[in-house]
Amino acid sequence: MADMGYDISDYQAIDERYGTLEDWDKLRDAVHERGMKLVMDLVVNHSSDQHAWFKESRKAKSSPKRDWYIWHPGKTNDQGERVPPNNWRSIFGAGSTWEWDEGSQEYYLHTFLKEQPDLNWENPAVRDAVFKMMRWWLDRGADGFRMDVINFISKADGFPDAPIIDPKEIYQPFGNLSINRPRVHDHLKEMYERVLKDYDAFCVGECPGGEGPASFALYSEPSRKELQMVFTFHHQGFDRGNGGFGRGWNKDWALRDLKKEWNRWHVELPKEGGWFANYLENHDQPRMITRMACESPEHRARSGKLLAMLQCSLTGTIYVYQSQELGQINVPYEWKEEEYKDVESIQLLAGERAYLERAGITGRQAEEYMARVFRDLRQTARDNGRTPVQWDDTKNAGFTKGTPWMRIHDDYKMWNAASQCSDQSSVRSFWKRMLGLRREHKALIYGTFEPLDEENNDNYCYIRNWAETGEKLLVLLNFKRGDGSGAPIAIHVGKLGVDTAGAQLIVSNDEAEIGSGIHGPVELEPWCGRIYLLQQGQLPN
C-alpha cells in the first residue's frame, strides 16, 4: 500500500483489507450472472519490495533471483563519490529512480517509488512467471486485464542519462529511455502467443508517452496480435504547466489546443488501424467538470451532461470512471493539506520544500511559493478522483460502516447515486440516455471523426460519418470558458460547409425540441450541446 495497492506483494492473493479469494469468486459469479465481465488490474512493470521474488533477489549478488530485477553497481563522480548509474528521476518525487541497497551493495531500479522495484523483463524466467500468473487468473474466471504502465517494461541498453529539461533539479524525466521502447512489442506478442490467444480475454494497456498516433496504433492494430486498445495521456496535459508534465496548473489553457490534440488522435489513430480507449477521467486524474466546464451549483449538472455528450460522441470504447456519471467534482478548495493522501501529492509537496531549502529561499517568498504549489495541487492532484463513491446521504455516503481511506466529499448529501437514480433529469439519467443513443446510432462508434471550426476557442463541433451505412451526425458543444453568466454563442453551421437540410435534433442538454431542425445559426446557452442526425443510415444488403 505504498502506492494505494500498485505495489503487489503476492500476485495470487487478495489483500485482507479488501477480502479473500473466496470473496473474489463470489464477485466473479455475481458479475457473470448479470452478463458482465470482470477485468483485473495487471501490475507487472514492478512489484512490491515485499514480494518474495524481490526479497530473494536482494539477499545477495549470487541469489538465483538476482536478475529478476534490475541491479547496477553505480558509478563514481569527479569527487570520488558513489552515485546512481544515471540521472533518471522517479515518477514520484524529485529523487533518483535508483535506490542503494546496503545489504547487497548495489542499486536497484524503481521507475516509481523505492517500494516498487522494476521487474527485469529481459529475463525469460520473469516472463515465464508473469505468464503463468496470468493464466492462473484467466483459468479462475477473470475476463481480461487492464495492464498498468505496460509500455514501461523495456529499458534503454546501458541506461544512458536523460536530457536535462528541468535545470533546477538533479534528476530528469527518463522519457522514452524507459517508455514505449521497441522491445515492449516483442514482449506483448510473446504474451499473446503464450497466454492470450487461448482465452477470450479483453486487454487494455495503460501507455503513457509522447509519441504520436502511428506509434500507439501498433498496440491495438488487430493483425499484430498484441492488445485490443491502450490508454494514452496526450489529452490529459491540456491544463498543465511545464509542457503538460507534472501537476502544475495552467489556468490560461485554451480550448483550441485541446481540440487540436483530440482531433489529431480521433482522426489519425483509426487511419493507422488502431482503436481508441476513450476516457476523460480515471484514478490518476482530477474531475473533468472542474477542469473543463463549470462546477458552480447552477451549472454543474448541465456541465456533467455536456461532458457526457462529448465523450459519447468521440471514437473508440468508452470508459466511465466511478462517480463521473454522477457529476462529481474536485475536492473542496478549503480542504487542508492533511486531507491529501496520495503519495504523489505528499512527495510533490516534500520535493518543493526541499527545493526551497536547497535554494535558501525562506520567509514570505517561500510561503508564496508553496501557496502557488498547493493551488496547483488543488486543481490537478490525483486525490480529486479518489474520494469514495457517494451512494446515498447517510453517514460516509453509504460507502462504508468503517473509516474510509480518505474524506468523503462534502457535497454527498446533495450529490449521490440514490437521489440521481430516481431523478430523470439527473446527470446519471442523462448518461444512460447517451449510452443508449450511442448503441442506437452506430456512427458514434464506427464512424469517421470529421472536425469542424478547429480554431474556434468557444465551441467544439464535429461530424461522425459512417460511410458503410451512410449515417451521419453533427455534434455542437458550447465549451466557452467562464462562470456561465455570459451570452450564448452562435454557431453558423452553414458557413462550416455542412448540409443541414434534413437535420433532426436527437439529443440536447437544454430545452430544445427533439426532432427540430437547423434554420440559421444555432444558439447555445453556456455549457449546452446538441447532436443532430444529418442523414439516416441504411445497412447494406
Read off the amino acid at residue 369: Y
> What one-character DSSP code corresponds to residue 119?
B
Phi, psi of 485 (to 5 degrees): -90, -5
Place of cell 505468464: 131
C-alpha–C-alpha distance, residues 307 and 278, integer Å: 12
- Provide DSSP, 192-255: HHHTGGGS--EEEEE---S--HHHHHHHH-GGG-S-SEEE--GGGGTTBSGGG-TT-B-TT--H
Tell me how far CA of residue 163 lies from CA of 171, 187, 191, 424, in angstroms: 10, 27, 32, 54
Phi-psi region at 448: left, alpha or beta (left = phi > 0; alpha = psi -120 to 50): beta
Tell me, rounded to whole angstroms, the distance of Cα 515 from its chain centroid: 36
pLDDT value at position 316?
Answer: 96
- Residue 409 makes CB contacts below 8 A (sequence gap 6+) with 328, 329, 331, 332, 387, 390, 397, 415
Helices 427-440 and 300-312 sit at what angle, rounded to 10 degrees?
20
Tell me, rounded to whole angstroms, the distance of Cα 202 from its chain centroid: 18
Read off the amino acid at residue 10: D
Tell me how far CA of residue 465 lies from CA of 260, 317, 474, 477, 503, in angstroms: 19, 17, 9, 17, 14
Q: Is 211 a catalytic residue?
A: no
Tell me, rounded to whole angstroms, the distance of Cα 353 from its chain centroid: 28
Q: Of the candidates 232, 302, 251, which has an alpha carbon nearest to the alpha carbon of residue 508? A: 302
Q: Say which of 206, 239, 383, 471 is annotated catalytic.
A: 206
Residue 154 and residue 145 in contact, taking contact as beta carbons nearer than 8 Å: no
Please report, in angstroms and rounded to a whole number, the separation of the first and last CA atoms in the chain: 56
Rounded to two decimals, the pTM is 0.94
Q: Would you kindly state where each structural domain of the chain is located, as residue ranges?
A: 447-535
Q: Three-state DSSP class for 272?
A: coil
Place of cell 470512471: 321
Number of Cβ within a 10 Å radius of residue 299: 20
Q: Is 206 a catalytic residue?
A: yes
Q: Of the candidates 426, 389, 458, which has an alpha carbon nearest to the alpha carbon of residue 305? A: 426
Residue 220 and residue 228 in contact, taking contact as beta carbons nearer than 8 Å: yes
- Residue 494 makes CB contacts below 8 A (sequence gap 6+) with 500, 520
**List of E strands, 162-214:** 202-206
What's the burial of 447, exposed, middle or buried (CB within 10 Å: 0-12/13-18/19+)? Answer: buried
Residue 348 grid cell: 510533490
Residue 88 and residue 178 in contact, taking contact as beta carbons nearer than 8 Å: yes
C-alpha–C-alpha distance, residues 264 and 258, integer Å: 10
Place of cell 488502431: 274
> What one-character DSSP code corresponds to residue 176?
G
pLDDT value at position 511?
Answer: 94
pLDDT value at position 2?
Answer: 86
Q: What is the CATH number of domain 447-535?
A: 2.60.40.1180
Residue 159 grid cell: 541506461
Phi, psi of 453 (to 5 degrees): 50, 50
pLDDT value at position 92?
Answer: 86
Q: Of the candidates 432, 459, 433, which has an alpha carbon nearest to the alpha carbon of residue 527? A: 459
Number of Cβ within a 10 Å radius of residue 371: 10
> What one-character DSSP code corresponds to residue 493?
G
Residue 63 and residue 56 in contact, taking contact as beta carbons nearer than 8 Å: yes
Q: Say which of 67, 101, 122, 148 is annotated catalytic.
A: 148
- Residue 378 makes CB contacts below 8 A (sequence gap 6+) with 330, 331, 333, 335
Tens-level pLDDT at each residue, the chain (541 residues): 888 889 999 999 999 989 999 999 999 999 999 999 999 999 999 999 999 999 999 999 999 999 999 999 999 999 999 999 999 999 987 799 999 999 999 999 999 999 999 999 999 999 999 999 999 999 999 999 999 999 999 999 999 999 999 888 899 999 999 999 999 999 999 999 999 999 999 999 999 999 999 999 999 999 999 999 999 999 999 999 865 557 889 999 999 999 999 999 999 999 999 999 999 999 999 999 999 999 999 999 999 999 999 999 999 999 999 999 999 999 999 999 999 999 889 989 998 999 999 999 999 999 999 999 999 999 999 999 999 999 999 999 999 999 999 999 999 999 999 999 999 999 999 999 999 999 999 999 999 999 999 999 999 999 999 999 999 999 999 999 998 888 999 999 999 999 999 999 999 999 999 999 999 999 999 999 999 999 999 876 5
What's the burial of 459, exposed, middle or buried (CB within 10 Å: 0-12/13-18/19+)? Answer: buried
